[in-house]
Amino acid sequence: MKVFYIDVESFCANDFIDSLLKYRLHGKKTEIFKYAYSNDGKWNDSERESDMLQSIEIESPDFAFSFNYYPLVSKVCQKAGLKYISWVYDNPQVALYHYTLANSCNEVFLFDSEMYETFASQGIKTVHYMPLAASTERLDRFSLSDAKAAKYRSKVSFVGSLYTEEHNFYERMLPKLDPYVHGYLEGLMKSQMQIHGYNFIEDSLTETIIEKMYAALPIEPHKDSVETKSYLYADYVINRRITGIERTELLKSIAKRHPVDLYTKDTTFTAQGIKNHGIIKYYSDMPYVFKGSDINLNISLRSIKKGIPLRCFDIIGCGGFLLSNFQEDFLRYFEPGVDFVFYESQNDLLNKIDYFLLHDDERKAIAESAYEKIKKDHNFDVRVEQLLTEAGIT
């Protein structure tokens, strides 16, 4: 079996490739041809398309694969008559709204069940639901030596963006935003922050509101895709802004009771009780954080409506204790209070942190239960087989 691998930097890449290389189709060894690809947002590039098509003809692979979906790759694979498997771990993912999604060559796996439902309900036959995974085999190699424990021991930790560093469209929009619309959006965001499990932002953006937002910050849908302005403003502007506010407010409130270790790109963020370590390396250092923290927080990006973020799989795969906001897809595979704990409000979050910092045995039992499920059912070896079977690679 030969795989035409679209080589873009991705968090899951190394673990997936390791498992892919173990896979045997009809007893034959897997080969991987890595095609260097730049994720520059271009969906049309005749020179790149020609080069990729030529490489496919030379390599003669069984299928192409990428993390996240690339319309240009789909166009080339459709022309080449080659199956294209993509596994999406980001939401939002505007590329999914490109007309190529319906190409017969596609097998697109989406980690968020609501993303899947959105496209499947429109009669798109090329999409599937597939949660993410963790490599317990790799993560088990990380052990907390005395030196590592001294560096990474933590009561409460959070690893993730504060959305103050980049793509901060909301701040760019404010200077030109109509005062009424500004007030409307602020009230809308405060309301959404009180609710987990249902996102009503896009449904609440009327045509008039969108027109005023567009006047302050023009964002154009792509000409060869079907995403709407309401989708773009909801997920790329408002939901990012909500997430930034939510993460900073929750972390500050926790830090008033317990020290918090934060690993994030924005090294300028400071608050009493929070130690900002800056960005953490995913493969070499992050597992130590999850293993060394009594409580690992997940505060999901609000555009992830139901899916389990990769962060959660990584935490559990490390044997870490996970305290998360509610995400519906958890209930498909894990049991609240047995494998993880979710919070329903800021007060509930604070109370549960207080409780589980005092109940070590209960916390460790929950972490161990989840780890065993990841090791058995949600590792990359399992996912590779599931993806290829569902995609018809037999």
Per-residue confidence in pLDDT tens, the chain, 394 aa = 999 999 999 998 999 999 999 998 888 899 999 999 988 888 989 999 999 999 999 999 999 999 999 999 999 999 999 999 999 999 999 999 999 999 999 999 999 999 999 999 999 999 999 999 999 999 999 999 999 999 999 999 999 999 986 558 999 999 999 999 999 999 999 999 999 889 999 999 999 999 999 999 999 999 889 999 999 999 999 999 999 999 999 999 999 999 999 999 999 999 999 999 999 999 999 999 999 999 999 999 999 999 999 999 999 999 999 999 999 999 999 999 999 999 999 999 999 999 999 999 999 999 999 999 999 999 999 999 999 999 999 7
Say whether both 115 and 187 belong to one domain.
Answer: no
> CA-to-CA distance for 378 and 329, rounded, in angstroms?
14
Q: Are residues 373 and 384 in the same domain?
A: no
pLDDT at 363: 98
| 279 and 301 belong to one structural domain | yes
The residue type found at 48 is R
CB of 391 closer than 8 Å to CB of 104: no
What is the domain count for the chain?
2
Same domain flag for 166 and 314: yes
Write out the two tokens for 335: 């049991």
State pTM to two decimals: 0.95
The helix/strand/coil state of 372 is helix
Residues 159 and 281 in one domain: yes
Domain of residue 346, residue span: 136-377
Give the CATH number, domain containing residue 65: 3.40.50.2000
Based on the domain organization, do 165 and 307 belong to the same domain? yes
118 with 149, same domain: the answer is no
Q: Are 350 and 257 in contact (CB under 8 A)?
A: yes
Rounded Cα distance between 290 and 140, Å, is 12
Residue 190, CA distances (Å) to 185, 201, 239, 326, 376 in order: 9, 11, 11, 17, 40
Question: 3-class DSSP state for residue 251?
Answer: helix
Same domain membership, residue 121 and residue 53: yes
Q: What is the pLDDT of residue 167?
A: 56
Residues ≥6 apart with Cβ < 8 Å to 295? 155, 156, 157, 321, 323, 353, 356, 357, 363
Judgement on whether residues 175 and 123 belong to the same structural domain of the protein: no
Examine the domain organization and report whether 220 and 358 are in the same domain: yes
Give the three-class secondary structure for 159: strand
Is the domain of 78 the same as that of 195? no
Check whether residue 123 and residue 201 sit in a common domain. Answer: no
Neighbours of 133 (CB within 10 A): 27
Element (H, E) at 79: helix 71-80
